[in-house]
Chain A
């Protein structure tokens, strides 16, 4: 590993942030101008959305299951086991649904984007694309950004639904609670602020996953080893950013809607 002075290190980091911001800004600006690559957008929607469905369903379902188990254990001490539905529903919709779905999609797709675009970069396919008169940001990055934002939104809804259902299954079969009461309380506890909070997050997370994955792909250097490094960095950075942005959005939402 090559060691550099703190000054050079700081400059490199600032340059990387600048480069990322420019790429993300350009990808976003491309949403409002032509040409638009609809075929690429649909392909990415299929790959990101439908492709991620199994892991999102499994993660959501078992998160709901474990939430119900843990909540019920804690609530039992206060004789409030009937509140299990409320706990599961609120946790899933506000927090765990968007965040876990974001993390799972990040692990699957940010890495995929970084490795795919990174391989194109090291084999000069990105340069070839530019030489052939195509803007690689418009052709490769923007469709992935649009597809990830849209698909993560719907995947989060599916995750919330399966999480609540998983909690319901555990409540009925293991905790012997009344199923109807569980779903009734799970539904009744939710207010618009929770839904807005839970469905605003995936819009930001989707943008983070696609832009970070594409950024590390587009800046890949150093052959196949570089592709591997870019893939790892894409997953790590997008996951950390999701957690950080989750905190910021939660704080902002509480500020807007109060602590309902």
Chain B
């Protein structure tokens, strides 16, 4: 699959954009456990996400990936352990304080979760309108975000008039409009055809390589994960391209969950060269 490690070019780049007051890891999970109705969903989860890193989360369906994402954003409270985001404890902070923290976090939901009674304009600009931004400023930034996802023409449409891929793109535009320091992508390519998936992956890559935003990304498609790890966004051509010499993107790392626990946490190379029998089988599927 890859050339020998010594021959592989590892693309180093400046760590993510400045996150004031957070020189350390952006996300820290420390022995986090959570369960619902007596059934464990995640057990003793510990990991760190450094600034500028893109952490791809893999794992079979129902292993708790989406729950992990919601825990990161404080949408669910853990039963045990500590979660720190931008040096602030998420698990012990009040909901009111969390709203301030969430201003720095963008989230793309599994099924887009667009407000179906609002137009694309109002969905994308939701945060700005809530913050009391002027109509001109909001309009400008909505257009900018929609231009990023190449959906300017859909500004007056409603979510029900959009295709699945377009909805995901609107959802990405909504997540990035306030230029967050952390983006959580919950299966942004789930249920999409391969061509549309590639478009979404390219957008995630663009956000990673242009804005250098720290991100967590869940995917079920191994192809998408390795595309992110082995390609980079070329701002001149406006498209992604393969990193020369079978190189890999150093800031993109992997985490694999299985049966409520982390079974792998490391770089692309470490994942590819794993000797774990279950992981090898999972990756070959």
Binding site for B on A (CB under 8 A): 120, 123-125, 127-135
Residues of B73-128 at the interface with A, using a CB-CB cut-off of 8 Å, are 73, 75, 95-96, 99-100, 102-103, 105, 107, 109-111, 113-116, 126-127
Residues of B within 8 A of A134 (CB): 99, 126, 130
Interface size on B, residues (CB 8 A): 22
**Is B102 in contact with A128, judged by CB distance below 8 angstroms?**
no
**Is B103 in contact with A128, judged by CB distance below 8 angstroms?**
no
CB distance from B184 to the nearest CB of A (A): 8
CB distance from B211 to the nearest CB of A (A): 19
CB distance from B194 to the nearest CB of A (A): 25
Residues of A within 8 A of B105 (CB): 131
Known: A125-B114, A133-B127; 17 extra A-B contacts, CB below 8 A, are A120-B115, A123-B111, A123-B113, A124-B109, A124-B111, A125-B113, A128-B109, A128-B113, A128-B115, A130-B75, A130-B99, A130-B102, A131-B105, A132-B126, A133-B99, A134-B126, A135-B95
**Is A124 in contact with B113, judged by CB distance below 8 angstroms?**
yes
Residue among A127, A129, A130, A131 with the highest chain B CB neighbour number at 10 A:
A131
| B70 at the A interface (CB under 8 A) | yes
Residues of A within 8 A of B107 (CB): 128, 131
When C-beta atoms are compared, the residue in chain A nearest to B73 turns out to be A131
Residues of A within 8 A of B110 (CB): 124
CB distance from A27 to the nearest CB of B (A): 14
**Is B99 in contact with A135, judged by CB distance below 8 angstroms?**
yes
Residues of B within 8 A of A131 (CB): 73, 75, 102, 105, 107, 109
Residues of A within 8 A of B102 (CB): 130-133
How many Å lie between the Cα of A129 and that of B117 in the bound state?
13
CB distance from A30 to the nearest CB of B (A): 12
Residues of A within 8 A of B73 (CB): 131
Tell which of B75, B103, B116 touches A125, judged by Cβ atoms closer than 8 Å.
B116
Residue among B100, B110, B115 with the highest chain A CB neighbour number at 10 A:
B115
Residues of B within 8 A of A132 (CB): 102, 126-127, 130, 174
What are 10 A-to-B residue pairs whose CB atoms are below 8 Å?
A124-B110, A128-B107, A128-B113, A130-B95, A130-B99, A131-B75, A131-B105, A132-B130, A133-B99, A133-B102
**Is B127 in contact with A127, judged by CB distance below 8 angstroms?**
no
CB distance from A260 to the nearest CB of B (A): 48
CB distance from A115 to the nearest CB of B (A): 13
Residues of B within 8 A of A130 (CB): 75, 95, 99, 102
CB distance from A159 to the nearest CB of B (A): 30
Residues of B121-167 at the interface with A, using a CB-CB cut-off of 8 Å, are 126-127, 130
When C-beta atoms are compared, the residue in chain A nearest to B74 turns out to be A130
CB distance from A139 to the nearest CB of B (A): 9
Closest 10 pairs between A and B when the two form their complex, measured CB to CB: A128-B113, A124-B113, A131-B107, A133-B99, A133-B102, A124-B109, A127-B75, A132-B127, A125-B113, A131-B73
CB distance from A72 to the nearest CB of B (A): 49
How many Å lie between the Cα of A128 and that of B103 in the bound state?
13
How many Å lie between the Cα of A237 and that of B214 in the bound state?
47
